[in-house]
Each structure stands twice: as C-alpha cells, then as structure tokens.
C-alpha cells in the first residue's frame, strides 16, 4: 500500500468508516539520518484521522527504538513493527520478513520499541517463510512475551508474496497460539469477507488493504456486515467520482498540484473500476495536468454514462475541510 495510504487517503477511509488507519511504512534508518521526506510526508498526521497506527520498519533494534519519539510526536496512537514486507529493497536492509528469519533480532527489536514507547506496540507477520514453515507461531509467542499488544497476520507466506489465495486457517492457528488480539489480513476484498474471516478464524479485527483501493467507503459496509446490519449501498457512479475528486483536491492541498495529479492518475483507475468505458476514461485522465482539467474530464465522463438522471459529481464536504486550507 506504499504510495496509497498517505494522510489524504487515510482521512477518507476514516470518514468512510475505518476504525483504525495505518501509515505508510516509515524507515527507521531514514529517521535516524534526518530524511526530510520521511519526516515531512510519511510521518504527518491529521487529528481527524485518529486513531492511527504508525508503521515502522528497520533491521537494527536500537535504531528502531530511537524512532519511537518521532512516531509519538507525529501523533501515533499505536506503533506497528512491520515484519511481513517481502519487497526486496526492504529486505536488503535486514527489515521486513528478514526479521522473521532472525527471531532473536525480531524479539530484541520488539522489546526495545516497547521499552521506549508510551503507546501500544503491535507487530505484523507473514504466515511463515514457506508453506511448510509454521515458525511464525513460536515467533508470535516470543513477541507477545516481549510486550507486543497485538499481532497482525498476512495469511500468505514469504514465498507466496501476493500470489495465490490467503490461507485463513493460519490465522486461526495464531488465534489459538497467543493470548493477545490477532488481526487478520489477506483476501478481504469485499465487505462480506470481513465477518466471514472473523467467523472462520476467531480473529479480533480485520485489516483491509487492497480491497480499499478506490473504495474508502468499504469500511462502513464491512462494519455493518460484521454487526449484522443492512449494508450501505455502493455510491452511485457520480458519487464515486465525486469522492475521487475530493481525494484529488485533498492531495493537491497536501502535496501540490504536480505530485497530486501524478498520484491521482493511479488512484482514478481504481475509482472507475467496473464503470462503463472506464478504460477510455482512465486514458483521458493521464492527459490532465491541472485539477481544473481533471474536473472537466470527470464531468464529461459522467455525461457519457448516459443514465437517466445522471448529473455531474456533487461537491464533497471535504473540499471545505479546514485541514486543507
């Protein structure tokens, strides 16, 4: 979710019903060396998005502990140690899943972060290094003994990366193995998947990642499904594109028009997914160089949907959010 879960998207997700949002991964090495991008962009939060978990990654226990004050000053309600990322550039620094390969270092890092933190510390793992590896169970127990307040499990192995189905039974095994809340992750793509995961695994909470791309309202739907209440309908195409425009303007206010439009092109393909002639619309969006041009393209697209009562996307209240003035 790097490049997606910036504070603009997190605020949309909170207003779309998410109970907790998580930052992009923050490099503890970058904080150590005063990387301005990390401090000024990845660590910035809004009061309106709280509660928020600030997600860190690193390979050295002491450096990770030294990152704690930065996270707390940024408003972290939870500090999450990512030991599940399998991206090569993260692993190269001994971070992410490399910590799972070195349990003693993983436990030491957790203990040091817990020692320095005044907020709960959680850890995210993968379900082993290979399909036959269940060492994540023993590691999780040791992490809890070191002070981890909860464990999130991506129910795929390191060798799977993001391929193949998530094995929710591995989450159920972790629930039985530890006495802290377990957060399930993997293949929660539709609102109904959330209560099904909870029923099948006994997990305490559900983490939605790729299922929220272009659908920040999915959290409200999932929460209703978990509560056994009527599920709010999907927004109409016009409402959906109105939210997309809100997202774009929020990014402009936060990052400036040039960077925001670059990020919006990628996000717009998710918002338009499943709509008629979406491929043509996505191609047109790549030509927009200003927010005004993007608005014009969205209005033209809404008109082309040729549905009774279609109107251009309505203004969103977030356009007037004081956080972006």
CATH number for the domain including 312? Answer: 1.10.1200
Q: Is residue 119 part of a domain?
A: yes
User: 165 and 204: one domain?
Assistant: yes
pLDDT at 47: 82
Helices (H), the chain: 7-15, 28-32, 36-37, 61-66, 68-73, 88-91, 103-116, 135-145, 168-177, 193-201, 218-227, 237-255, 257-271, 278-285, 291-304
36 pLDDT band (50/70/90 cuts)?
Answer: low
pLDDT at 254: 85
pLDDT at 208: 96
pLDDT at 315: 43
User: 92 and 34: one domain?
Assistant: yes
User: What is the Cα–Cα distance from 22 to 212, expressed in whole angstroms?
Assistant: 13
User: 152 and 245: one domain?
Assistant: no
Residue 38 lies in domain = 7-227
pLDDT at 183: 98
Contact between 241 and 233 (Cβ < 8 Å): no
Handedness of CA 230, 211, 170, 108 (dihedral sign): negative
User: 109 and 205: one domain?
Assistant: yes
Longest dimension (CA), the chain: 63
User: 182 and 249: one domain?
Assistant: no
User: 163 and 281: one domain?
Assistant: no
Average of per-residue pLDDT across 39-56: 83
* Structure tokens, 135: 């060492």
Q: Is residue 2 part of a domain?
A: no
Q: What radius of gyration do the chain's Cα atoms show?
A: 20
User: What is the Cα–Cα distance from 170 to 161, expressed in whole angstroms?
Assistant: 15
Which residue, of 200, 227, 254, is where some domain finishes? 227
Q: Is residue 1 part of a domain?
A: no
pLDDT at 45: 83
Q: Is residue 325 part of a domain?
A: no
Dihedral angle, C-alpha 170, 173, 179, 184, nearest 10 °: 30
User: What is the Cα–Cα distance from 84 to 96, expressed in whole angstroms?
Assistant: 5
Residue with tokens 């629930």: 175
Phi then psi for residue 26, to 5 deg, are -110, 125
User: What is the Cα–Cα distance from 265 to 268, expressed in whole angstroms?
Assistant: 5
| pLDDT tens, position by position, 243-272 | 999 999 998 988 889 888 888 888 888 999
Q: Is residue 138 part of a domain?
A: yes
User: 286 and 162: one domain?
Assistant: no
What mean pLDDT, rounded, does the chain reach? 88
How many Cα atoms are found within 13 Å in the side-chain-facing hemisphere of 131?
6
User: 148 and 258: one domain?
Assistant: no
How many whole angstroms from its chain centre is CA 116? Answer: 25
User: What is the Cα–Cα distance from 245 to 122, expressed in whole angstroms?
Assistant: 34
Contact between 60 and 33 (Cβ < 8 Å): no
pLDDT > 90: percent of the chain: 58
Q: Is residue 257 part of a domain?
A: yes
Average of per-residue pLDDT across 193-207: 97
312 pLDDT band (50/70/90 cuts)?
Answer: very low
User: 16 and 164: one domain?
Assistant: yes
Which residue, of 197, 227, 257, is where some domain finishes? 227
Which residues does the annotation mark as catalytic?
85
User: 220 and 244: one domain?
Assistant: no
Residue with tokens 């927004």: 235
Query: Is the pLDDT assigned to residue 57 strictly greater than 50?
Result: yes
Query: Is the pLDDT assigned to residue 159 strictly greater than 70?
Result: yes
Average of per-residue pLDDT across 181-194: 96
User: What is the Cα–Cα distance from 92 to 77, expressed in whole angstroms?
Assistant: 29
Average of per-residue pLDDT across 269-298: 89
Average of per-residue pLDDT across 301-310: 64
pLDDT at 40: 54
Q: Tell me how many domains the chain contains.
A: 2
Q: How far is CA 100 from CA 8, 89, 97, in A?
A: 32, 16, 5
User: 48 and 150: one domain?
Assistant: yes
Which residue, of 178, 193, 227, is where some domain finishes? 227
How many Cα atoms are found within 13 Å in the side-chain-facing hemisphere of 155?
24
Q: Is residue 305 part of a domain?
A: yes
Query: Is the pLDDT assigned to residue 309 strictly greater than 50?
Result: no
The better pLDDT of the pair 138, 274 is held by 138
* Structure tokens, 272: 């338009």
Residue with tokens 């599920």: 231
307 pLDDT band (50/70/90 cuts)?
Answer: low
Q: Is residue 298 part of a domain?
A: yes
CATH of the domain at 180: 3.20.20.70
User: 212 and 96: one domain?
Assistant: yes
């Amino acid at each position: 979710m790097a490049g997606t879960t910036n504070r603009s998207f997190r605020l949309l997700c909170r207003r779309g019903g998410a109970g907790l949002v998580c930052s992009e991964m923050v490099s503890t090495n970058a904080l150590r060396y005063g990387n301005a991008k990390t401090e000024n962009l990845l660590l910035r939060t809004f009061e309106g998005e709280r509660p928020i978990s600030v997600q860190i990654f690193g390979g050295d226990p002491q450096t990770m502990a030294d990152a704690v004050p930065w996270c707390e000053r940024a408003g972290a309600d939870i500090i999450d140690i990512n030991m599940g990322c399998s991206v090569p550039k993260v692993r190269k620094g001994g971070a992410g899943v490399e910590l799972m390969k070195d349990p003693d270092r993983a436990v030491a890092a957790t203990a040091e972060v817990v020692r320095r933190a005044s907020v709960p510390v959680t850890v995210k793992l993968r379900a082993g290094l290979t399909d036959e590896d269940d060492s994540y169970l023993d590691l999780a127990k040791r992490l809890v003994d070191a002070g981890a307040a909860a464990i999130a499990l991506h129910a795929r192995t390191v060798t799977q990366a993001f391929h193949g189905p998530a094995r929710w039974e591995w989450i159920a095994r972790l629930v039985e193995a530890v006495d802290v809340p377990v957060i399930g992750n993997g293949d929660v793509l539709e609102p109904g998947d959330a209560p099904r995961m909870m029923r099948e695994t006994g997990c305490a909470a559900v983490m939605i990642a790729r299922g929220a791309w272009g659908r920040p309202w999915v959290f409200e739907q999932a929460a209703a499904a978990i509560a056994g209440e009527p599920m709010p309908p999907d927004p109409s195409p016009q409402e959906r594109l109105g939210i997309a425009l809100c997202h774009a303007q929020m990014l402009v206010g936060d990052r400036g028009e040039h960077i925001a439009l670059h990020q919006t092109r990628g996000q717009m393909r998710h918002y338009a997914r499943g709509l008629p002639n979406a491929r043509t619309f996505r191609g047109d969006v790549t030509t927009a160089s200003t927010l005004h041009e993007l608005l014009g393209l969205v209005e033209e697209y809404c008109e082309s949907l040729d549905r009774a009562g279609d109107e251009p996307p309505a203004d969103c209240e977030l356009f007037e959010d004081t956080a972006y003035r």
